Amino acid sequence: MADSVQHDAVINWISGPVLRATATTPLHMNEAVKVGQRALLGEVIRIDGDQAVIQVYEDTTGLKPGDPVSATGAPLSVKLGPGLLGNIFDGLLRPLNEQGRYVRPGISQNHNSKQYAFSPLIKQGDLATRGTLFGSVHRDDARLQRCMSPPNCDGRVVSIKPAGEYSDEETLCILDCGDDQVRELSMSHFWPVRQPRPVLRRLPIKGPLFTGQRILDSMFPIGCGSRAAMPGGFGTGKTVLQETLAKWCDADVIIYVGCGERGNEMASVLHDFPSLLDPRTGRPLMERTVIIANTSNMPVAAREASIYTAVTVGEYYRDMGLRVALMADSTSRWAEALREISGRLGELPGEGGYPAYLSSRQADFYERAAHVHSLSGNVGSLTIIGAVSPPSADFSEPVTTHTKRYVHCFWGLDASRAQARFYPAIHPLQSYSQDVEALSHFWSQNGHPNWARQRQRFLALLEDQARLERMARIIGKDALPPRQQHVLLCAELINEAFLRQSAFSETDRYCSAERQIAMMQIITRFIKLSENAIELGITLEAISALAVMRRLMRMGEEIGEDDLDKFDQLRAELDHSFTRLTRSEAEGHES
């Protein structure tokens, strides 16, 4: 017997996460809908007359033709509020902490019974424009947060509640928006995930997102509000490096999204992060972290939405005037979700089977990274670092190729380095950064005006090393002239003493700007002194045999952040070693 209740649409065809429904009332593109008796969340992605194509963000097992579809009247949106920090969510921003072993179908993200300490920042009679910070929220287990009026809301304050404990859905402020319209504001509000939050204006990149990883900060730096790609084959350390960046980078808020990753890797993140301490404050790292977990066995449509969910959360904290870093692992799995859904829709495939709009979707995502003057009047930034997992480490495949068009920093992970236990396994000759010029001022301010020149010298030596090693495989290393052997020695020192960084060493897993400067300057000093020694006829064997060479190779692990004075001692020892070497060489010639 047919259901007598009137619904907005009725299912007539299902294929995995995609279904078609016959609409009885008008539906709209990108409108969120509730599907079936369990009210599964879906989104309208195509309309043809009274036929609507809907992608469902949950497991569609049990749905059948004839089941009802109800429209919500709003686009796919997520709830943004003070309860995000320190918690773990799925790709639709539904809390996983409280779900137990399984996520219940049709669960809503709306309900939150917790009370938060609220303090007003405006008073009755004030004008609250779009994005106004009208209050602050204090949590013992998270950093201080602000309450913002939505970007589509203006009005004069009629009333605002005094400081106290309130839920995130309780009305705290009432605005008179004119024309007899009243708007009620609470700590949280909803925002469509596919719609970028508006800003007053975008600003040029100023200052780096400092990661504490030497190969990134000193060789291929990323600015706050910029975007980077981290491509690499299986086992090259993408996830480990993203976790390292999440822990050590100097962002105010970290958004970590596991998009289609293997369950064991995501389980490691969920297990490790809550137990980590923030090295800057000594408090739990989760106090400034939001984790969005969407593993490969979760519905593929939710994987596609998780990227937009994460960037929307990032923009929310950016608008508070905070520096936000978003780690997306991995965008290849997101692209695979696009490909699967596109195939079910019967769309004509493009390169590699991906939909023709893959490039534009990637642009939509990466272009939401920015350094901005927000509507609240604050300056904030959202930096996006996306991992890419090209099949067989083929950087010419479509996802990697298109990603390179939209990022400023490209950190190519190399399988041969990873197999040699070289960490981070970023290949210096396959990587680049377009933020170098914008960040030169930062290094000058920190006492390193020659940073750009020294960086270029290091890269030139590494490039010469690659060329000479190919030659040495043919004629043998000993057949090379002394100057070319000297290049190989200097490049090896750069690789081993500077670019290699131990993630297991308490001393070396993080390297401050001051320590990076000292290490670059000592290596540059060695290059100059050894060049002079070669010109005086001193053999490379004699230089390699210097006792100070071992200390140079291990200075990253032996000189910590509290012992920076030891770099001066090492420099003095280096000068003294070459002075004795040249003196003994001169005495040998005289005799």
CATH number of the structural domain 113-188? 2.40.50.100
Helix (H/G/I), strand (E/B), else coil: 495: helix
Distances (CA, A) of 576 to 486, 517, 521, 568, 579: 20, 21, 16, 12, 5
pLDDT in tens, the chain (591 residues): 344 456 889 999 998 899 999 999 999 999 999 999 889 999 999 999 999 999 999 888 889 999 999 999 999 999 999 989 988 888 888 888 665 556 677 666 656 678 999 999 999 999 988 889 999 999 888 888 999 998 888 889 999 999 999 998 899 999 998 877 898 999 999 999 999 999 999 999 989 999 999 999 999 999 999 999 999 988 898 888 988 898 889 999 999 998 887 777 777 777 777 777 777 777 888 889 999 988 777 788 888 889 999 999 999 999 999 999 999 988 999 999 999 999 988 888 988 899 999 999 999 999 999 999 999 889 999 999 999 999 888 999 999 999 999 999 999 999 999 999 899 999 999 999 999 999 999 999 888 899 999 999 999 999 999 999 999 888 888 888 999 999 999 999 999 999 999 888 888 989 999 999 999 999 999 999 999 999 988 989 999 999 999 999 999 999 999 999 999 999 999 999 999 998 877 666 655
Under CATH, to which class is 202-435 assigned? Answer: alpha beta
Q: Please, what's the b/e burial string for 354-377 (b: 16 or more CB within 10 A of its CB; e: otherwise)?
A: bbeebbebbebbbebbbbbebbbe
d(C-alpha 8, C-alpha 74), whole Å:
14
Q: β-strand 155-160 against 164-167: which pairing, if any?
A: unpaired
Any residues with CB less than 8 A from the CB of 193 and at least 6 apart, and which?
Answer: 76, 77, 78, 305, 308, 309, 311, 312
In angstroms, the first-to-last Cα distance of the chain is 113
Distance CA 421, CA 311 (A): 33
Q: What is the pLDDT of residue 240?
A: 87
Query: Are 9-75 and 202-435 equal in CATH topology?
Result: no
Tokens of 32: 């969120």
What is the rounded distance in angstroms from the CA atom of residue 487 to the CA atom of residue 462? 9
CATH 1.10.1140.10 fits 451-590, yes or no: yes
Q: Where are the domains of the chain?
A: 9-75, 113-188, 202-435, 451-590
Q: Packing angle between helix 451-475 and helix 482-493, nearest 10 degrees?
A: 120
CB count, 10 Å around CB of 243? 21
- H helices of 382-435, in order, are 398-406, 415-419
Three-state secondary structure of 252-287: CEEEEEEECCCHHHHHHHHHHHHHCECCCCCCEHHH
Q: Which residue has the tokens 């290393």?
A: 477
Determine the pLDDT at residue 2: 41
**pLDDT value for 591:** 54
How open is the CA angle 214-218-220, to the nearest 5 degrees?
100
Nearest C-alpha neighbor of 555 from the set 545, 568, 536:
568
Residue 154 identity: D
Which pLDDT value is given to residue 163? Answer: 94
Tell me the sheet residues that pair with 388: 231
pTM: 0.92
CATH code that applies to domain 9-75: 2.40.30.20
Partner residues linked to 119 by β-bridges: 136
